[in-house]
Structure 1
Amino acid sequence: MVFLTVKMMQRTALFVTLGGLVTSLVTTFLPLWKTMNSDLNEVENWYSGLWHMCLYTEEVGVQCKAYENMLWLPMDLQISRVLMLVSVSTGSLALLAAFAGLEGVEMCVGQPSLKRRLLVLGGVLSWVSGVTTLAPVSILAYTMVVEFWDQGFPDVMPRWEYGEAMFSGWFGGLALVIGGTLFFVAVCMGDFDERPPSVPNSPQVKHRTKHYLKTEVL
């Protein structure tokens, strides 16, 4: 295809990675990881995130409060905090490395091997960023499912359910993984385009040509 070029693939990978990074960054600070609504008091909605908890009421609106002590938090929430920060950091480094390796960018000019290594590094970092986004979201999702179906809690006790940030986290992590994969596809396309053309006057080709000529004469 005419539009499926190395430069176009590189820029597509960059934009997909950027979209995944922005989504993961927003997900990190959203207080909508968990949501809870009690049947006994339907006018109150509780929202929980990685950094603070919010309460929504019709009379007051939204009131948020940060967690006072990190040591009081559950272990899965502490791990999710660290992994999301690692995801944002590695995703930012992936964009910087990949941008320097793009064709047409006035950086590392005349060093195609260095540009290739930067694209590979960007793809690896984008993969790491995607995995470290998908991991905490999946861990908290699994914890909520286990607690939701726990028979030890009374039925009247409200349970945490999935919030909007969970789905945005899955989307952002998947976009980062896809962006890293597209960087590797762009590298493979560039390697394919730089292959030396087959030489028609090679000894093997000459030998085959003579063989065919003898066969025609006979």
Structure 2
Amino acid sequence: MVFLTTKMMQRTASFVTLGGLVTSLVTTFLPLWKTMNSELNEMENWFSGLWHTCLYTEEVGIQCKAYDSILSLPMDLQISRVLMFVSVSTGALALLVAFPGLDGIELFMGQPGVKRGVLILAGVLAWVSGLTTLAPVSIVAYTTVVDFWNAGFPDVMPRWEIGEAMFSGWFGGLALVIGGTLFFIAVCMGDFEQRPPSEPNTPQVTHRTTQYMRTEVV
């Protein structure tokens, strides 16, 4: 296909990685990782994130409060904070590293090996960013499901459920992984385009020796 070029693949990888990075950044600060609605008071909705706990009522609206102490947080939220910070940092670094390796950028002109190595490094960083987004979201989702089906809690006791931020986190993590994969595909396409053309098969010339017969005149 005409549009499926190395330059187009590089741009696509950059845009997909940028979309995943923005989604992961928004997910980090959304207070919608877990939701809870009390059956005793259906007018109150609780939301919990990595940094805040929020209460929504129709009379007052939404009110958020930051956690009093980091050490008082559950272990899954503490781990998620660290991993999401690593995810956003490595995702931003992947875009910065990939910029000079893109075709059309004057940096490292005439050095295809350097551009190739830069794009490979960007793909690895995008993969790390995606995995460190998928991991905390999956951990919090797992602990939420386990606590929800815990038979030790009374039935009347409200329980946390999976919030909308979980799905945006999964989407952002997958986008980062896909973006890193597209960087690798762009590198492979560049290697294929730079491959020297194969020489046509030349027919083998067989040298035949001509034998001459000597005749003697008596």
Tell me the equivalent position of 1:150.
150
Please, what is the CA RMSD of the aligned residues? 1.4
Tell me the CA shift for residue 68 of structure 1. 1.1
2:205 is matched with which residue? Answer: 210
Corresponding letter in the other structure for 2:180: G
Structure-1-length-normalised TM-score: 0.93
The code of the aligned residue for 1:6 comes to: T
2:86 aligns with 86
Amino acid at match of 2:168: S
Matched, 1:186 2:181: no
In the TM superposition, what are the counterparts of 1:40-189 in structure 2 within 5 Å? 40-189=40-189
1:138-179 Cα deviation digits (max 9, x unpaired) = 000000110011000001111111111000000000000000
Letter in 2 for 1:75: M
Residue 210 of structure 1 aligns with an amino acid whose one-letter code is V
Q: Deviations over 1:117-154 (max 9, x none)?
A: 11000000000000000000000000011001100000
Q: Secondary structure at the match of 1:70?
A: coil
Give the secondary-structure state (helix, strand or coil) at the position aligned to 2:55.
strand
Unaligned regions of 5+ residues in structure 1, if any? none
Larger Rg over CA atoms: 2
Q: Deviations over 1:23-71 (max 9, x none)?
A: 0000000000000001110000000000010000111000000011000
Segments ≥4 residues shifted beyond 4 Å: none
The equivalent residue for 2:12 is: 12
Percent identical residues: 78
In the TM superposition, what is the alpha-carbon distance from 1:100 to its structure 2 partner?
A: 1.2
More helix by share: 1
Aligned to 2:215: none
C-alpha separation in 2, matches of 1:14 and 1:80: 25
Matched pairs, number? 208
The 3-state SS of whatever aligns with 1:35 is: strand
* Matches of 2:131 and 2:28, distance apart in 1: 14
Structure 2, gaps ≥5 residues long: 209-218
CA distance in 2, matches of 1:102, 1:15: 12
